[in-house]
Chains A and B, each alone.
Chain A
Amino acid sequence: MKRRVGFNVERIPIASGRLVFFVSLLAILAAFVVAGIFFQIYGVSPIKAYQLILRGSLGSRFGIAETVRRTIPLLLCGVGLTIAFRALFWNIGAEGQLLMGAVAAAGVALFSGLPVPLLLPAMFIGGFIGGAAWGLIPAILKVMLGLNDVITTLMMNYIAIYFIEWLIHGPWKGPTARGFAYTDTFPRSAWLPTIYGTRIHWPTLVLGLVLAVIMYLMVTRTRSGFEIRVIGENPNAARFAGISQLKTALLVMLISGGFAGLAGVGEVAGIHQRLLGPTNISMGYGYTAIIVAWLARRNPLAVIVTSLLFGAIMTGGDVIKVSLGLPFQLINVFNGLILFFLIGSEILLRYRISFLLRR
């Protein structure tokens, strides 16, 4: 419906890849501009702030290392989320799945008594299972009972958080320091190797990169990938074609939850070497990964790039905290703004506005 003489609004059926890229870039820039305004309000020159962030996160060896280290969980969670989102399963619970993966890994590390060569692989397997199980529960509830996936995955996050709280204050309680509770430190054999001088636990990184590629291939070249795409684009046609909703939902949540679980393993085995309070294990990686996956337009390969971006932002947050005295929460402002502008800008991908000169 045209409302005004002078311009015409047409619906574009499909947006080209270039347009998508351009619009995404625009959204990110808009977010940075608005964030810059907040800097200004706080009394800090935005340009100075951004320079600091850039130098801090990508300009020094230490900065890059920190960026990469933060990218790892974002990468793993993000890849898993692209798969879930493709099947229209709104997995808001990556955070909880990550945490449960961490719990499983910690359990294996502290109590399994496995010999050295088996311990780390067992932790990864355990973490995958832990995260996958946590993700499968909402999947089953959705397919069998029609429960809304947003709500269930969200609720499971909090259940996971309190579960860990209980563990570290109760049965798995270790030494307490400065009022923070955590478990005993893992045995040395349960520590993930890191690149010298950094906190990059490279096995998890490699795992993430490999899984990104595998997932991309899966989506484009396999039967299951085809089924996921069909369900995501038209669930009715999927029924029609005899594609099992149950199987697909279980598959995508197995993957999505499992990958998040792997991220959890990486965090406790690679960074902390023990099970900590939930907010210390994950600084919102699960939620940030949603933006990572969204920005990547549900393409597992693109997640490699977008997770790096957000890893840099998070490192930038640290830099700001230290050098400018601004609170770390600023990250959330960035994330919120980027996500907000991303979905706000999607209207540019759906409609073409052309200006007509008329008498």
Chain B
Amino acid sequence: MSWETWIIATLSRSIVYGTPLLLGTLGEIYAERSGVLNLGVEGMMIMGAYFAFTTAYITGNPWLGILMGAVVGGAFSLIHAFTSVTLKANQVVSGLSLTMLGLGLSGVLGRGWEGKPLPASLPKITVSSLSKIPFLGPILFEGQNLIVYLTILLVPLLWYILYRTRIGITIRSVGESPATADSLGINVDRVRYICVFLGGILAGVAGGYLSVAYRPAWTEGMTAGTGWIVIALTIFAFWNPAYGMLGAYLFAALYHLSYRLQPWVSPELLKAMPYIFAILVLILVSRGTLQKRMGAPAALALPYTRGEE
């Protein structure tokens, strides 16, 4: 296989696997920007995956499945919002408990669904005219599905909202200085609920994508730590959707490479790379002048202090 073909194939697959990572990260960015750390992403993803799969199986319509995944992910996240925002409980523990719950529930409910074939998955799209563009063409426009494109479009949209709109200013103020936002009449709790809810919906879609489009199949625990990578990704994306996209596709590439490079490098090492990489990047970033000059705000973004006011 020539180098070029190899690179194209890798990047193409990176986008495929990167999509659920990106979806999850975009949602988590919004949640954390509003001040709430959501460690329940893994649980929401897998609940979304399960319900998406079963709905798609029963109705025969994969899109209904994805929709259901979104709904379930969102509903689950509302529980986390309730404990974190209304009850003001410890967010780390709340998120963890929901992940356990999600993994457990999906495992219990998912008994018997393993190995069932999905009648209809998401259709693969090939835009023949655009796929002729050298290099980018085959990566982006051959055999991808609609969700991939929607996700890519979400990035600039969510970026714009966060940095250039009134809504974004509101969200950022709630996450940086909730007392200030509150004194100006902003309903801090409501903003946080909405952002966490958005995070849950996107996590649910990500899960649904995994079970309905990526595999497609249902296996117990199929998210396999994707939710945790999302948590790490959010941080070194600097809570910025644009960097989130970069990180998501990068990690996806590493994951994909773990299989490809099997003859030369141990797959376990490559699979561990995202996690090692996450820590390494965090280390690099911690010394950046960006953090220092920004002073307190960057420290405010540390998950477990935010939201405790």
Chain A residues in the interface with B (C-beta under 8 A): 38, 42, 90, 92, 141, 145-148, 150-152, 154-156, 158-159, 162-163, 165-166, 169-170, 287, 290-291, 294, 326-337, 339-340, 342-344, 346-347
- With the chains together, A343 CA to B100 CA distance in Å? 14
Say whether chain B's binding surface is mostly helix, strand, loop, or mixed.
helix
Expressed in whole angstroms, the Cα–Cα distance for A150 and B99 within the complex equals 15
Closest B-chain residue to A347, C-beta based?
A: B87
Do the beta carbons of A166 and B103 come within 8 Å of each other? no
**Alpha-carbon separation in the docked complex, A291 to B100 (Å):** 11
Q: A151, B108: Cβ atoms under 8 Å?
A: no
Contact of A162 (CB < 8 Å), options: B228, B271, B278, B304: B271
- A333 touching B108, Cβ below 8 Å: yes
From known contacts A148-B302, A163-B272, infer whether A343 and B97 are also in contact, taking CB-CB under 8 Å. yes
- Pairs A–B under 8 Å by Cβ, sample size 16: A145-B287, A148-B235, A150-B37, A151-B303, A152-B279, A158-B225, A158-B275, A327-B108, A333-B101, A334-B104, A336-B99, A336-B101, A337-B101, A339-B93, A340-B98, A343-B87
Alpha-carbon distance A327/B104, docked complex (angstroms): 9
Q: Cβ of A90: which chain B residues have Cβ within 8 Å of it? A: 92, 304
B276 CB → nearest A CB, Å:
6
Q: Does B94 contact A (CB under 8 A)?
A: yes
Nearest CB of B to A162, in Å: 4
**Cβ contacts under 8 Å, B225 to chain A:** 158
Specify which chain A residues have a CB less than 8 angstroms from the CB of B180 in the assembled complex. Answer: none
Q: How large is the interface on B (under 10, 10 to 19, 20 to 34, 35 or more residues)?
A: 35 or more
**CB distance A340 to B94 under 8 Å?**
yes
Chain A residues with CB below 8 A from B215, complex form: none
Q: Report Cα–Cα, A201/B96, bound state, in Å.
A: 30
CB–CB B93/A151 < 8 A: no
Cβ-defined contact, A148 with B283, below 8 A: no
Residues of B within 8 A of A38 (CB): 105, 108
Smallest CB–CB gap between B42 and chain A, Å? 10
**Contact in complex: A151, B282 (CB < 8 Å):** yes
Q: Which of B230-288 contact A (CB under 8 A)?
A: 231-232, 235, 266, 268-269, 271-272, 275-276, 278-279, 282-283, 286-287
- The total of interchain contacts (Cβ-Cβ below 8 angstroms) comes to 148
B304 touches A154 (CB 8 A): no
Complex formed: what's the CA distance from A170 to B231 in Å? 30
CA distance A150 to B306 in the complex (A): 14
Assess the A330–B100 pair: CB atoms within 8 A: no
Task: Decide if B89 is an interface residue (CB 8 Å cutoff).
Answer: yes
Contact B268 A347 (CB under 8 A): no
Task: Specify which chain A residues have a CB less than 8 angstroms from the CB of B92 in the assembled complex.
Answer: 90, 92, 150
Contact B283 A145 (CB under 8 A): yes
In the complex, what residues of B have CB within 8 A of residue A165's CB? 268
Within the assembled complex, what's the spacing in Å between the Cα atoms of A38 and B88?
27
Residue-by-residue, is B169-202 near A (CB-CB < 8 Å gives 1, otherwise 0)?
0000000000000000000000000000000000
Please indicate the chain B residues that have their CB under 8 angstroms from the CB of A158 in the complex.
225, 228, 272, 275
Given known A-B contacts A148-B303, A166-B268, A343 and B89 have beta carbons under 8 A apart: yes
Q: Does B220 contact A (CB under 8 A)?
A: yes
Query: Shortest Cβ distance from B99 into chain A, in angstroms?
Result: 7
Q: Which residues on B sit within 8 Å (CB–CB) of A334? A: 104
- Contact between A141 and B275, CB atoms less than 8 A apart: no
CB neighbours (8 Å) of A331 from chain B are 104
B35 beta carbon closer than 8 Å to chain A: no
Q: Separation in Å of the A42 CB from the closest CB of chain B?
A: 7
One of A148, A155, A290, A333 near B104 (C-beta < 8 A)? A333
Chain A contacts of B278 at CB under 8 A?
A: 151, 155
Report if B5 contacts A (CB, 8 A). Answer: no
Cβ-based interface call for B138 (8 A): no
Interface contact A150-B83, CB-CB below 8 Å: no
Q: Which residues on the B side are within 8 Å of A169 (C-beta)?
A: 266, 268
B303–A332 contact, CB under 8 A? no
A327 touches B111 (CB 8 A): yes
Pick the 10 closest A-B CB pairs, nearest first.
Answer: A332-B104, A329-B107, A336-B101, A336-B100, A339-B97, A333-B104, A162-B272, A166-B268, A340-B97, A343-B89
Question: Which residues 73-100 of B have a CB within 8 angstroms of A?
Answer: 79, 83, 87-90, 92-94, 96-100
- In the complex, what residues of B have CB within 8 A of residue A155's CB? 228, 232, 275-276, 278-279
From B104, B105, B271, name the one whose CB has the most chain A CB atoms within 10 angstroms.
B104
Residues in B with CB closer than 8 Å to A166 are 266, 268-269
Known contacts A92-B96, A329-B107; is-contact A152 B101 (Cβ 8 Å): no
CB of B18 within 8 A of chain A? no
Q: In the bound complex, what is the Cα–Cα distance between A333 and B104 (angstroms)?
A: 5
A156 and B101 alpha carbons, distance in the complex (Å): 22
CA distance A326 to B83 in the complex (A): 29
Most buried by B among A92, A145, A151, A287: A151
A104 to B231, CA, bound (A): 29
If A163-B272, A166-B268 are given as contacts, then 12 extra A-B residue pairs at C-beta distance below 8 Å, sorted by A number, are: A141-B283, A150-B304, A151-B231, A151-B235, A155-B276, A326-B111, A329-B108, A332-B105, A336-B100, A340-B94, A340-B101, A343-B93
Whether B104 contacts A330 by the Cβ 8 Å rule is: yes
Instruction: For B97, list chain A residues within 8 Å (CB).
Output: 291, 335-337, 339-340, 343
Distance in angstroms between the alpha carbons of A339 and B83 in the assembled complex: 12
Contact A287 B304 (CB under 8 A): no
* A-side contacts of B302, CB under 8 Å: 146, 148
| Distance (whole angstroms) from the CB of B3 to the closest CB of chain A | 28
Chain A residues, CB < 8 A from B272:
158-159, 162-163
Tell me whether B39 is interfacial, beta carbon within 8 Å.
Answer: yes
Pick the residue among B79, B83, B231, B286 that contacts A154 (CB under 8 A): B231
Bound CA–CA A148/B279 (angstroms): 10
Known contacts A329-B103, A339-B96, A340-B94: does B266 contact A170 (CB below 8 Å)? yes
- Contact bitstring B109-148, A, C-beta under 8 A = 1, else 0: 0010000000000000000000000000000000000000
CB-nearest residue of chain A to B277: A155
